[in-house]
Amino acid sequence: MGFPERHSDQHRPAGAGATRPARPEDRYGTKPGPRPGGSHEPLFEPAPVRRSNLDPVGLPTSPLAPPAPAPAPPAAAPVDAPAAAPAVRPAARSDLTTLLGRTVLEARVQQICREYGLIPRSGEAVGSGLSRSYLSRDAGVELAADAHGMVTTVFLHFHGDDGFAPFQGEIPGGAGSDPRRSSLWATLGRPGEQGDPYRDRYLGDYGPWDRWVLAGFALHAQYGVDGERLERITLTRPDRRPRAA
């Protein structure tokens, strides 16, 4: 009772038009859950593995692009080299022509001697006694005096002659500081007297010389054998000739 069609199917002989299900699940379809027999197969088919987009199916693999180069560091700003320091010129010193005609005992003369480091040739300090010669090899300066201590001649040595350092500073009379004959001519003009080169039987060869009479003193310039390089300047009073050129 209840489902006559089902009963009729159950009592219908085999092979009479319908196939009788062998198992209940075949009759009503597969149900979810573990299958008879204890199978551990998954209920659903596993999802296919997705491939990376970097390697699509059916397309050739392209090589990876090289990494972008690192940015170059900013160029350093050029640094200016420090400017060269100007040449230091010796400080202005007292005019040596003011010594001419004055005695070494005067305070002003002794002050100038200390300024240039002048000492008697014998090595005694200025003021300890009279001397006929005072010198400073480091300054390139030499004085000559008479028996009474009066200064008669001032020598300025250039180019290290006779063991003196080259004189540094302005040449008296506004002659500048360039120890060359052409420079003296440019600043002092044509000399009043000139001399040709000559040979001393004991001291050797000498170049030409020039002499200017300036305000209050005379300037005698002795040159080398090349006729241009200044070797020594001799300063005297206008009425006196240089003791030795």
pLDDT tens readout for residues 18-58: 455 555 555 555 555 555 555 555 555 555 555 555 555 45
Confidence tier at 159 by pLDDT (50, 70, 90) = confident
| Average predicted confidence (pLDDT) for the chain | 77
Amino acid at 137: R
Per-residue confidence (pLDDT) for residue 38, from 0 to 100: 52
Query: What average pLDDT does range 104-130 have in this prediction?
Result: 82
DSSP H helical ranges for 84-165? 107-116
Query: What average pLDDT does range 190-204 have in this prediction?
Result: 92
Per-residue confidence (pLDDT) for residue 227, from 0 to 100: 94
Per-residue confidence (pLDDT) for residue 20, from 0 to 100: 54
Task: Enumerate residues 6+ apart whose C-beta is below 8 A from 185.
Answer: 191, 210
Report yes or no: 133 and 144 within 8 Å, Cβ to Cβ. Answer: yes
Per-residue confidence (pLDDT) for residue 229, from 0 to 100: 95
Higher local confidence (pLDDT), 198 or 67? 198
Query: What average pLDDT does range 211-217 have in this prediction?
Result: 95
Query: What average pLDDT does range 194-204 have in this prediction?
Result: 90
Report yes or no: 236 and 217 within 8 Å, Cβ to Cβ. Answer: yes
**Max intra-chain CA distance, the chain:** 176
Higher local confidence (pLDDT), 196 or 40? 196
**E strand segments, 10-150:** 119-120, 133-136, 141-145
Higher local confidence (pLDDT), 33 or 186? 186
Per-residue confidence (pLDDT) for residue 240, from 0 to 100: 75
Per the listing, tokens 């170059």 go with 72
Percent of the chain with pLDDT over 90: 47
Its pTM stands at 0.60
Highest average pLDDT, of 26-35, 199-208, 221-230, comes from 221-230
Which residues is 229 bridged to in the sheet?
180
Per-residue confidence (pLDDT) for residue 239, from 0 to 100: 84
Residue 224 has pLDDT above 70, yes or no: yes
Per-residue confidence (pLDDT) for residue 245, from 0 to 100: 43
pLDDT tens digit sequence for 42-101:
555 555 555 555 555 454 555 566 667 677 766 666 666 556 655 555 567 899 999 999
Per-residue confidence (pLDDT) for residue 197, from 0 to 100: 93
